[in-house]
């Protein structure tokens, strides 16, 4: 049977960096959210293993080597349950190294597909442990729901109240690696996430990686300024370590108009009109 798993884009509506850790990671407090669109993973049993990447951003990835989808498949077999040979196709619709969890979402989709094929419960502790080993964002992407993240981002508390809000994602077609952005963080703890509802946390939070990301890719500032100028945008921020930024709108008509304005003024930028889920 063919298994199809969505790998929706992840947004950090707020991202507070609290400190550096001895293990090389950082202590974070973040508000994860997900949108209705993203990559798509198709998996089916086959006579022999295969892995193909298609889609508009396929050229940015290699199906061999250190690909997170292949790592997720192999880690599942080692730690959770055996799998038959699989033919895997990743439809890569999200830009690579863009702060919206594309690789992590793809890995989480592979874990969900593997669990379905092997008859493993999606909330299995072993599955969650594999997700945490694969990367800091993978547990949130495996959960796929709005949540507060702490620790490296793997300790999650589900929140409600954001589904259906229109959002526009914009990337200037610049890839930004996470490691160098964290390396340029100034080490100042500017305080925890605010309290209140999920929307309150988003509006009154911040992204502590924006300044270091701008040092690497100054165009991020141009993206944020362009989104700030859009009528009806009620929250504008960079996601993750960049370079993707987002604008949340009160209504879909304002988002459509905003997307048209961005595409007209910046035809080389990537835009995605979607909604929070």
Catalytic residue among 10, 37, 92, 214: 10
**In the chain, at which residue ranges do the beta strands (DSSP E only) sit?**
3-20, 26-45, 50-54, 86-91, 147-151, 155-158, 166-171, 233-238, 245-249, 270-275
Q: Report percent pLDDT > 90 for the chain.
A: 97
Active site annotation includes 137: yes
CA distance 116 to 70: 17
Instruction: Tell me what pLDDT residue 96 has.
Output: 95
pLDDT digits (tens, 9 = 90+) for 92-136: 999 999 999 999 999 999 999 999 999 999 999 999 999 999 999
What pLDDT does 63 receive?
A: 79
Give per-residue pLDDT as tens, 146-183: 999 999 999 999 999 999 999 999 999 999 999 999 99
Least confident of 58-67, 129-138, 236-245, 257-266: 58-67
CA–CA dist 107, 215 (Å, integer) = 29
Domain assignments of the chain as residue spans, ordered by start: 3-158, 166-275
Tens digit of each residue's pLDDT (9 = 90 or more) over 16-65: 999 999 998 999 999 999 999 999 999 999 999 999 999 999 999 987 77
Catalytic residue among 91, 137, 208, 214: 137
**If you classify domain 3-158 with CATH, what class do you get?**
alpha beta
pLDDT number for residue 64: 75
pLDDT at 86 exceeding the cut of 90: yes
Instruction: State how far the Cα of 220 lies from the Cα of 243, in Å rounded to an integer.
Output: 6
User: Which class for 60: exposed (0-12), middle (13-18), buried (19 or more C-beta within 10 A)?
Assistant: middle
Looking at residues 251-264, what average pLDDT do you find? Answer: 98
Residue by residue, DSSP assigns 4-23 as EEEEEEEEEEEEEEEEE-TT
Is 3-158's fold the same as 166-275's? no
- Tell me whether residue 214 is one of the annotated catalytic residues: no
The CATH number of 166-275, from 3.30.70.890, 3.30.70.60, 3.40.50.920, 3.30.830.10, is 3.30.70.890
Mean pLDDT over the full length of the chain? 97
């Amino acid at each position: 049977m063919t298994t199809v798993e969505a790998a929706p884009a992840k947004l950090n509506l707020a991202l507070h960096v609290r400190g550096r850790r001895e293990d090389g990671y950082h202590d974070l407090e973040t508000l994860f959210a997900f949108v209705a669109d993203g990559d798509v993973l198709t998996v089916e049993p086959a006579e022999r293993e295969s892995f193909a990447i298609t889609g508009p951003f396929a050229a940015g990835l290699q199906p061999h080597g250190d690909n997170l989808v292949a790592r997720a498949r192999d880690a599942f077999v080692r730690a959770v349950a055996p799998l038959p040979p699989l033919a895997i196709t990743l439809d890569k619709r999200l830009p690579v190294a863009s702060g919206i969890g594309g690789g992590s979402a793809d890995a989480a989709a592979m874990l969900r597909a593997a669990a379905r094929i092997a008859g493993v419960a999606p909330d299995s502790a072993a599955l969650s442990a594999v997700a945490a080993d694969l990367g800091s964002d993978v547990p949130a992407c495996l959960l796929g729901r709005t949540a507060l993240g702490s620790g490296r981002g793997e300790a999650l508390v589900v929140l409600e109240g954001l589904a259906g809000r229109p959002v526009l994602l914009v990337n200037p077609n610049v890839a930004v690696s996470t490691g160098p952005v964290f390396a340029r963080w100034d080490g100042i703890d500017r305080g925890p996430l605010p309290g209140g509802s999920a929307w309150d946390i988003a509006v009154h939070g911040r992204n502590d990686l924006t300044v270091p990301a701008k040092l690497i890719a100054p165009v991020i500032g141009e993206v944020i300024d362009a989104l700030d100028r859009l009528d009806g945008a009620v929250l504008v921020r960079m996601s993750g370590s960049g370079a993707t930024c987002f604008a949340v709108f009160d209504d879909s008509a304002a988002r459509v108009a905003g997307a048209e304005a961005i595409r007209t003024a910046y035809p080389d930028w990537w835009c995605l009109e979607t909604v929070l889920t």
